[in-house]
Each structure stands twice: as C-alpha cells, then as structure tokens.
Structure 1
Amino acid sequence: MTADLSPLDHLPAATTALLATAAEMDDLAAPSLCGGWSRAHVLSHLARNADGLMRLVRAAGGSGETMYDSAQSRDADIEAGAARSRDFILADLGGTARAVDEALAGLSGDLGGTRVERTPGGPSFHARNLPFMRLREVVYHHVDLDAGPAFGDLPDDLVAPFLADEITRLRGAPHVPGLTIRTTEGDAWAVGDGSADVTGTRAGVLAWLARGIPDGIDQDNPPTLPEGR
C-alpha cells in the first residue's frame, strides 16, 4: 500500500465491487479459476472466511475461538453452502461481508499484537494481520469468479503489497525453487539461490505467484511453484 493507505482503506470498495459482480452472475454453477470449485464454492468460501475472521476478532478480545473448528469442518461448510440456492448464497455473502468489514474496522489497535489461531493448535498470527488477510481474500477471489477484474486490472497500490506478501510466502515455503524475480517496473527479488530468472509486469508476476497464471511473464516454461505456500 502507499504509506497513507491501510487495508481498511481499501476493503469497503473491494467488498462493494465483489458484491456487485456476484449480483450480476446468473450461473453460479459455472467453474471458477479455483480448480475444482464453482463460483458458488468461491462465494460460499468468502462467506465462511468472513465468519472465521469475526471469530478471530472476538478471539483477540479473549474469547478463545479459532478461525475454524477444523480444516474438515471448513471444507464441509463450503460444500454445504455451495449447494444452496443463488438467493441464499448472495444473501449469505452480503450479510457476512458487511459484518466482517464492520468488525475489522472496530478492531482495537491494542489487540493487534494478540496471536490468534486458524484451527485449534494450528498456525497462529497476529490479529493486526486480519484486515490484510480479508482484503486479499476479497480481491483474489473476485478475480477467481472469472466475471470481473483480472490481476492486470488492479491498481498499483494493491498490486505492490500483494506482491510483497507473495514473495514472503514463497520464501517461507518448503522446497522453494531458486528464483530471481524481476518486474518490468524495476523490482527485483531473490528467492532461494536466485538461479532462475523470471520476468514480467508486476500484475503478471502477481498472477503467476498467486494463481499460477503464466500469461504475464516472459518464460514459456516457468519454474514450478511449491504448493501450500
């Protein structure tokens, strides 16, 4: 982000844009850009993500909740939601999106250093990261609907922090490939031993790192990215 913009500055507009796209889609059974998921799955996931983040806002205040009860319950809830009617899915999406935006806006700065958990005993992170996590979910999955913006349509002040986040996640992945990632805008990052060069626009590199879409980078056969990064 630019120095004077936080995730919460972007989140209301990103949420509004997502809801507008969803409302215009007639066929929620159509495939999304997330392998194995329909558009209905993506929207159901976003609703359950909102619920989970609201649990973490409460956890930062001492409730002891985790984002999800388990990975299995998360997946089951998404599947159940995706099977419901279009009207239910859209109402669920809209209600939870507005509720989580409000909850995140009210998250006290004093609680930002509190560590919260994804699942009981699972990965933990600081509550201050929750607004960025929600913004990333909304923006990325809006693209995944394949009915609105692509990564190339995102403004620079969104692309830049998402790129930095993807580089950090890649560096922390197991079996990370050796890469030097360069953008035509002049950025450069070394990952691992930096042995293979990958070049593209910022948006193109983001699409590759975030979703494995190689269209915006120069290589015909780009290196394989690790799963679960």
Structure 2
Amino acid sequence: MPDTEPDPSSLLAAHTERLVATVRALDDPAAPSLCEGWTRAHVATHVARNADGLVRLVRSAVDGTRDTMYGSRDERNADIDAGAGRSAAELADDIERTAGEYAQAAPRLRLEHADHALERTPGDVRGRAADIPMMRLREVVWHHVDLDAGFGFADLEPELQRAFLDEEVERLRGLDDAPDITLRSTEGEQWTVGVGTTSVTGDRAALLGWLARGLTGGVSADPLPQLPAGR
C-alpha cells in the first residue's frame, strides 16, 4: 500500500506548473503526440478545454445549472481542432488561464455536492462531483506524458503512481474482454485481473504506462497480453 493517499487538490498546482513549463518550451507544437491523430497542440488545447468543462460541472453541482461538460462530442472535437494551430506561448497561456479559473471554482464543491451526477455530454453520465478533483489531476498528468516531451509516469509521486494504477486495474476489471493477468510491481505490489493467468512485471511507472497508454518499455511478460481496444 502507498505510504499516503494522494490529495488531488494539493498536487494539482505543482503538476499544472510543470505542464505549463513544458508546453511553453515546446519547439514544435505541431509534432505528433502519444494520442493517436493528435499533435502536441491538440493535447495542450484539450487540457485547457477540459478545465473549462470542469468549471461547468462545478456550476452544475453547486448551482443546479444542469450544465454538461461539453455541448456535444462534435463541439468538443471542433474546439480542440480550432486551437491546434497556435504557438507554444499561446497554448501555455491558455492552459494557465483556464487552470486558474478551475482553481477558483473547485473549492465551491462541498460534501453535500459529492453525489451530484456529472454529464459529459447531454445524457452521458460519467461519475459524480466527488470525482472532479481526481479527474482534473489525471488530465493534467496523463496529457503531460502524452506531449512526449521529456515528462513520463516515472516523474510522478509514488502515491500518485499507485492511485492511478489502482484506477486502471479497476477499469480493466470492468471490461468483458480484459486479459487474465497478474500485475507485479518491482516495488512489491500485486494486482489481479480475472484469474491472473499471465504475470506482467515492471516498476509502477512502466505498468502504468502499459495500462494507460500501451507503452511496453520496462514491462515484461511471456507473452505480453493484448489490452482491449478503447480501454
């Protein structure tokens, strides 16, 4: 078990600063990212629009506005495409500004709002208001990795690596076509999916990279199972 449970709110500011610094230093925002079909600029724009969407979800939970995170999937994609031609400085400024707006809105969430259902798009319920802080931290951290600009899962705090691994294992367990695997970290942890037939080993960062993004560096198994598409 981790020494401490991660506090998303306390970690978010530092990880946002790291992301902004990486984006501002990008020499080629149009270079491919780890997200198929997206450039680095697409990823950076998505992080900014994610903050906008989460502010809307806070309003929905606290003020009863019935706002959804995005108007529609097509609208979400169009907004990301519209921002993908900008410079590194413009992308970084956008992330910084919208992160600040999210930081102002998030403390409005209280215990009484925890079970408010979140709608990603109208009718598409995804989680509850209590999930918002971890949702934002995950977006900032994972998409920082997706920029493929020197930041990786190995750069995370140990307790955050563990928390993300726990989430990914739970997500995998909920899929009908999940492989039967036993994950063993070199830090001494173990997770089982299904009957755990195949042993997959690596450090926390490598296992997370495989589960979250299909990265195989540092992961060993004989053979390495195929993860479900669209996991």
Q: TM-score, normalised by structure 1?
A: 0.94
Q: Secondary structure at the match of 2:145?
A: helix
> Residue 140 of structure 1 corresponds to which residue in structure 2?
142
In the alignment, what sits opposite 1:16?
17
Ranges in structure 2 where 5+ consecutive residues have no aligned partner: none
2:51 match: 50
Gap regions ≥5 residues in structure 1 = none
Q: Please name the residue that 1:122 is paired with.
A: 124
Per the TM alignment, residue 131 of structure 1 is displaced from its structure 2 partner at its CA by 0.5
What per-residue deviation string (whole Å, max 9, x for no partner) do you get for residues 42-97 of structure 1? 00110111111111101112110111111121111111111234443232221111
CA distance in 2, matches of 1:18, 1:43: 9
User: Is structure 2 residue 194 aligned with structure 1 residue 192?
Assistant: yes
Instruction: Supply the distance in 2 between the matched residues of 1:192 and 1:4 (Cα, whole angstroms).
Output: 26
Query: How far apart are the structure 2 equivalents of 1:81 and 1:220?
Result: 43
1:136 Cα deviation from its structure 2 partner: 0.6
Match of 1:104 in 2: 106
Specify the SS of the correspondent of 1:13.
helix
Instruction: Report the Cα offset of residue 167 of structure 1.
Output: 0.7
- Determine if contact 1:199/1:218 at 8 Å carries over to the other structure: yes
Partner of 2:30: 29
Correspondences of 1:71-82 after superposition (within 5 Å): 71-82=73-84
1:34 and 1:28 mapped to 2: Cα distance? 14
The amino acid across from 1:27 in the alignment is D
Deviates more, 1:165-174 or 1:125-134: 165-174
Preserved CA contact (<8 Å) 2:23 2:89:
no
Normalising by the residue count of structure 2, what TM-score does the alignment of the two structures yield?
0.93
The amino acid of 1:63's aligned partner reads T
Per the TM alignment, residue 227 of structure 1 is displaced from its structure 2 partner at its CA by 2.3
Determine the C-alpha separation between the residues in 2 that align with 1:13 and 1:69: 30
Equivalent pairs, count: 229
Q: Which secondary structure does the structure 1 equivalent of 2:177 belong to?
A: coil
Supply the RMSD in Å over aligned alpha carbons: 1.6
Residue type of the alignment partner of 1:33: L
AA partner of residue 28 (structure 1): P
Q: Amino acid of the residue matched to residue 57 of structure 1?
A: V
Which stretch has the larger CA shift, 77-86 or 44-53? 77-86
SS of the residue 1:149 aligns to: coil
1:116 partner SS = strand
**Runs of 4 or more off by more than 6 Å in structure 1?**
none
Are the counterparts in 2 of residues 54 and 100 from structure 1 also a CA contact under 8 Å?
Answer: yes
* 2:182 alignment partner, one of 150, 171, 180: 180
8 Å contact kept, 1:41–1:82: yes
Deviation at 1:126, TM superposition (A): 1.0
Whether contact under 8 Å (2:58, 2:129) holds in the other structure is: yes
Structure 1 residues 89-100: aligned runs within 5 Å: 89-100=91-102
1:220 deviates by: 6.3
Alignment partners' CA distance in 1, 2:92 and 2:20: 8
Query: Matched residues, percent identical?
Result: 50
Q: In the alignment, is the contact (CA less than 8 A) between 1:46 and 1:138 conserved in 2?
A: yes
CA distance in 1, matches of 2:144, 2:152: 8
Judge conservation of contact 1:114–1:127 (CA < 8 Å) in 2.
yes
